[in-house]
Amino acid sequence: MELYELTIHAAAELLQKGEISAIELTEAQLRRIEQVQPQIKAYLHVAADSALKQATAADIRLAAARKGGEMAPPLTGIPLGIKDVLSLAGQPTTCGSRILEGYIPPYTATAVEKLAQAGAVFLGKTNTDEFAMGSSTENSAYFTTHNPWDLDRVPGGSSGGSAAAVAADMAIAALGTDTGGSVRQPAALCGVVGLKPTYGRVSRYGLVAFGSSLDQVGTLTKDVTDAALLLGAIAGYDPHDSTSLPQPVPDYRQALRPDLKGVRVGVPKEYFVEGMQPAVEKAVRAAVEQMVGMGAEACEVSLPHTEYALSVYYLIAPAEASANLARFDGIRYGPLADSGNMWENFRQTRGHGFGPEVKRRIMLGTYALSAGYYDAYYLKAGQVRTLIKQDFERALEEVDVIAVPTTPTTAFKIGERIDDPLAMYLGDIFTLSLNLAGMCGISLPCGFDEQNLPVGLQILGPALGEERILRVAYAYEQATSWHMRKPEL
C-alpha cells in the first residue's frame, strides 16, 4: 500500500510508532497531487511549502511524545485538504469566485485552527461551487472538478473538490461545508464518507457565510473511523460563534461498535420517490436488509412535509445568501471595477465578479425578502421549516436513526444539468431537509450501479446524535467492503 492510500487511523498508528515520518507522508501526498491534479482538478491552491513546514513541526512533536512515553494527538502529521470557503491565514480564500480573487485572510477559521492545534498538515484549498452554491462544482469560477470514478462526470458539490481529493487519495481526509447537502451529496457521488454534524456542533467562525441558519462545517473521509476522529477534533463550543452549542464533546470513536442489536432504523416512504434511479433504491434497500440481518429492527416512519422541503430551502437559503453577499462590493477586498462613478463601480464589480448561479440566488432571495412578498414567501417558508423539523423529532422518538438514499441518482455527466437549474436542485432533494431541521447525518458507500458509480446510504439522527449515526454507519461499513473499493486512475 502506498502512503497516500492510508486512512487517518492507520497513518496515525505508524506516525506514533515512528515507522513513518510526517515529512514522508506529506511528500507522498504532494507527489500524488502532482500526479493526478491535471485529471481531477480537486485543488484551487496547493500549499506545498507551508505543508512541509507543518510536517517538520509535527515530526518534532511526535518525537517529543515518544521520548516522554506519551501519545501525540491522533491528527499530528496527518495531511488534509480544506474547502476554499474556510479562512486560512496566509493562504488564498476565493470561495471559488472571481470576486474574491487574490484575497488572503488575516485569520483562520476556528475549525481549521483546531486542526492546526492538533498538529494536522494542510495540503491546500479544495475547489468548490462559487460561495458553496451548487451541486456539481461546475459553478466554480476557475474550473470544474472531475469525479475520480469517471472523469466525464461531476463529483457533486459544493464540496466536490474535497470529496474528489479524498476519493483520489489526494488528501487523507478533508473539510467541507454542508448547507443543503454539500458534504453528503459529493461523498455519495465519489464513494467516500461525508458527515454533516448538528447545526452549532462545529463553529462557523471563519466560514464565509452562504446561509447562516443552514451552514455547517463537515468532514470527508475514507471511512467512518476517520469521520469520528476528525469530528472530535473540530467540534466544540466557540465564543466567536453565537450559534455554537455549549455542549461537551464526547470521544466519538468510543461509539463505534460492530453490532446493531436493538437499534431501531426508520425507513421513510417519502424518500423512495418516483424517478429515482433503480440501482440507487436497490442498493439502499439492500443496505437496510443487511442492517436487519445484523440485529437492527427496521420500521416504516413518515416525514409528511418532505415534499415541501425543496421549495422551503430555495426560499430560505437564497434569502440568507442575498443578505450575506451584500458585503462583496470590491471596496475592502477583491477586484474593483473603476468607472469613475461609485454606484456604477458597485454594479460592475458585482456583475462581473459573481457567476450566474450566485446572481440567480441573490435575485431569488432579494425578491423573497422584498416588501409585499416577505410574508407570502420567506415568513411562510420559515413556518413550514418548523413543521419539517417537527416531523424529524416525532420520527426520532419512535426510532434511533433514519436510513435513506443520499441522492436520487449516481453521478451525472459534466454539462448535463448546468442549463437546467431545477434538475440540478432536485439532486439535493434527500439531503436538504436535514439542514432545515438542524440535525446530523452521515453518507457512506452502500453499493455501485451498472456503470461502476458509487451509491450513497444516508444515516440521519437527532440533534447532537452524532454518536448514534456513527455507530450505525460503522457497524454497516465493517460488515461490507464498499468503502474499500478504489477508482482506477
List residues with catalytic annotation. 83, 158, 182
Q: What is the sign of the dihedral through the CA atoms of 35, 37, 43 and 46?
A: positive
Q: Is the peptide bond before 158 cis (omega within 30 degrees of 0)?
A: yes
Q: In what order do the strands lie in the sheet with 401-405?
A: 43-46, 121-126, 79-83, 173-177, 217-221, 193-196, 440-448, 454-461, 401-405, 264-268, 297-301
Please list the alpha-helical segments (H only) found in 325-420: 342-353, 356-369, 380-398
Give the three-class secondary structure for 460. strand
Contact yes or no for 187/458 (Cβ under 8 A): no
Q: Which helix (H) or strand (E) holds 478?
A: helix 466-479
Contact yes or no for 369/319 (Cβ under 8 A): yes
d(CA 63, CA 380): 58
d(CA 191, CA 187): 6
Contact yes or no for 195/248 (Cβ under 8 A): no
User: How do the residues of the chain divide into helix, strand and coil, expressed in percent and rounded to 5?
Assistant: 45, 15, 40
Reference 320, options 274, 279, 381, 260; nearest CA is: 381
